[in-house]
């Protein structure tokens, strides 16, 4: 996109701050984005750590929850563009972290707060990014970039600050960035060793769940433990035999980064869980993997769903939920009728009100269901928190499975 240097837009981002499409024949970039600090006085500044960084450009529509976004492992290898213009006013704190580190490759904001004003704040957002060696940029019109990504889809991006590179050299670097389709990233974010999250003091342990960590957020096992679940968080490469040795009441499959088509081993694991009719609950990446285990294809969305204000309708009740989401892939399953699988019939239970993407599924004869969104709601509304109770109910009174129905 070219910007007229004489226009007011120059105050938002510099000429060629992002370049693409046929409007820029020199680069012919339909799938690349450049963001770099400018020489124009008061226009675009490096922010957080100076340097360069690369990833897939995605936007998040949440007005709050930037700390949870930064520490969500599902954002691994992505550069997040915040549509909310003012970011950072509440600083950061240890309690709101969803993992041990910041996972985003870069952070793009319009107007970061120069101070942190909140009684829970421990440091400023910029200082946290600097400490984590995360490159950022400020002063760009993030909503203009969001419209650009909505029109053309997510694309590879590079952020450059304090650089002597020419635009041609920047383009060469960005072209070398791997695309997200075909990316196997869960191994980068999964726990290295199993660990247990026990119910808090005063809550009796009622169930044991094996949770496969594909990039799990800390709020998720905590939400389950609050309902009396002893959560065994297990690495990506956990075998079905290892799961069975725990004698779990249920199996949970978490969110995570990457392309679900690369998760062949975990897909096979889910099929074994379904065959044994162990109650199953999957969210986000886990929802997509369940879809593939049932024989459905997954596909890349043009720009995905990211933010804490995504509307979803429950097709069984007609109730609308405002949900927290972070995904770039979706399941291709029939929404107008029940579907048949080797595990019996199933159905789509939830769809997006924005674009009709499949947001939830369940099997009718086997105790298994999934949603594309985040019921732990950190950050985000608590409309979907009931799903953890549904998982409890499923473990408490599993529906009759295939073996009983076919007897």
Q: Does 398 score more than 70 pLDDT?
A: no
Position 159 in a domain: yes
Position 1 in a domain: no
The 10s digit of each residue's pLDDT in 129-170 is 999 999 999 988 999 999 999 999 989 999 998 888 888 999
Position 180 in a domain: no
Examine the domain organization and report whether 168 and 200 are in the same domain: no
Q: Does 7 score more than 60 pLDDT?
A: no
- Give pTM, 2 decimals: 0.89
Position 297 in a domain: yes
Give me the number of domains the chain comprises: 2
pLDDT at 31: 66
Position 79 in a domain: yes
pLDDT at 159: 92
Mean pLDDT of 103-123: 94
Q: Does 11 score more than 70 pLDDT?
A: no
Position 296 in a domain: yes
Examine the domain organization and report whether 219 and 165 are in the same domain: no
346 strand-pairing partners: 339, 363
Examine the domain organization and report whether 212 and 354 are in the same domain: yes
Examine the domain organization and report whether 192 and 251 are in the same domain: yes
pLDDT at 9: 30
Examine the domain organization and report whether 171 and 306 are in the same domain: no
68: containing domain? 8-175
Position 2 in a domain: no
Distance, in Å, from the CA atom of 161 to the CA atom of 14, rounded to the nearest integer, reads 13
The 10s digit of each residue's pLDDT in 37-72 is 755 444 567 789 999 999 999 999 988 899 999 999
The 10s digit of each residue's pLDDT in 358-384 is 999 999 999 999 999 999 988 888 888
Examine the domain organization and report whether 327 and 385 are in the same domain: yes
Position 181 in a domain: no
Distance, in Å, from the CA atom of 90 to the CA atom of 96, rounded to the nearest integer, reads 11
Examine the domain organization and report whether 204 and 250 are in the same domain: yes
Q: Does 29 score more than 70 pLDDT?
A: no
The 10s digit of each residue's pLDDT in 301-321 is 999 999 999 999 999 899 999
Which residues are designated catalytic? 284, 374, 376
Q: What is the largest CA-CA distance in the chain?
A: 77
Examine the domain organization and report whether 323 and 194 are in the same domain: yes
Examine the domain organization and report whether 213 and 295 are in the same domain: yes
pLDDT at 381: 84
Examine the domain organization and report whether 221 and 358 are in the same domain: yes
Examine the domain organization and report whether 140 and 160 are in the same domain: yes
Average pLDDT along the chain: 88
Distance, in Å, from the CA atom of 221 to the CA atom of 228, rounded to the nearest integer, reads 11
> Which of 142, 175, 208 is the endpoint of a domain?
175
Examine the domain organization and report whether 61 and 154 are in the same domain: yes
């Amino acid at each position: 996109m070219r910007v007229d240097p004489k226009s007011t837009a120059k105050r938002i981002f510099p000429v060629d701050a992002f370049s693409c499409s046929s409007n820029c024949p020199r680069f012919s970039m339909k799938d690349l984005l450049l963001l770099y600090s400018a020489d124009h006085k008061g226009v675009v500044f490096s922010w957080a750590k100076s340097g360069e960084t690369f990833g897939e450009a995605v936007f998040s529509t949440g007005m709050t929850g930037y700390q949870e976004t930064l520490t969500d492992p599902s954002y691994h290898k992505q550069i997040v563009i915040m549509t909310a213009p003012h970011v950072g006013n509440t600083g950061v704190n240890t309690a709101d972290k969803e993992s041990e580190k910041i996972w985003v490759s870069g952070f793009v904001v319009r107007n970061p707060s120069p101070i942190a004003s909140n009684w829970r704040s421990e440091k400023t957002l910029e200082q946290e990014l600097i400490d984590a060696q995360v490159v950022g940029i400020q002063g760009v019109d993030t909503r203009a970039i969001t419209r650009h990504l909505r029109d053309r889809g997510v694309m590879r991006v590079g952020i450059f600050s304090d650089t002597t590179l020419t635009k041609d050299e920047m383009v060469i670097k960005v072209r070398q960035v791997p695309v997200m389709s075909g990316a196997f990233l869960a191994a980068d974010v999964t726990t290295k060793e199993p660990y247990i999250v026990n119910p808090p003091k005063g809550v009796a342990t009622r169930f044991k769940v094996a949770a496969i960590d594909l990039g799990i957020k800390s709020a998720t096992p905590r939400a389950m433990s609050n309902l009396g679940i002893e959560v065994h968080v297990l690495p990506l490469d956990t075998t079905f035999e290892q799961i069975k040795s725990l004698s779990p009441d249920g199996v949970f499959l978490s969110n995570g980064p990457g392309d679900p088509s690369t998760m062949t081993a975990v897909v096979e694991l889910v099929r074994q869980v379904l065959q044994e009719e162990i109650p199953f609950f999957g969210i986000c990446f886990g929802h997509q993997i369940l879809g593939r285990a049932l024989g459905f294809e997954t596909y890349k969305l043009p720009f995905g769903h990211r933010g804490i204000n995504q509307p979803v309708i429950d097709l069984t009740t007609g109730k609308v939920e405002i949900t927290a989401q972070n995904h770039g892939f979706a399941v291709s399953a029939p929404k107008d009728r029940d579907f048949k699988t080797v595990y019996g019939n199933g159905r789509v239970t939830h769809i997006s009100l924005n674009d009709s993407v499949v947001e939830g599924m369940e099997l009718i004869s086997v105790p298994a269901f999934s949603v594309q969104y985040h019921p732990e709601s950190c950050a985000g509304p608590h409309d979907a928190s009931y799903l953890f109770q549904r998982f409890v109910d499923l473990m408490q009174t599993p529906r009759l499975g295939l073996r009983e129905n076919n007897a």
